[in-house]
Amino acid sequence: MDQVKLEKDKVDPERMAILRSLPLEVKSMITGEEARAFLYKEQLSEALVEKLKEYLVDEESDQN
């Protein structure tokens, strides 16, 4: 039970809000594994990046 709590504490609240705000048709395409990677700031798969490409911001191009 403590492990579940610890894992829950690591969820990025901003990313949770982003995930919740996505259109239903996009959310329905995201697997549990992809959602977990997004929420815990893990490496995103190419498939997930493709699904979210309209919603992701390239930070490098924003800084220029």
Question: Taking the complete model, does pTM exceed 0.85, yes or no?
Answer: no
Q: Residue 59 class from Cβ within 10 Å (0-12 exposed, 13-18 middle, 19+ buried)? A: exposed
The contacts of residue 30 (CB under 8 Å, 6+ apart) are 19, 22, 38, 48, 51
Q: Are 38 and 19 in contact (CB under 8 A)?
A: yes
From first to last of its 64 residues, the chain has per-residue pLDDT tens of 445 555 656 899 999 999 999 999 999 999 999 999 999 999 999 999 999 999 888 776 656 5
Q: What domain range is 48 assigned to?
A: 2-63
Amino acid residing at 35: A
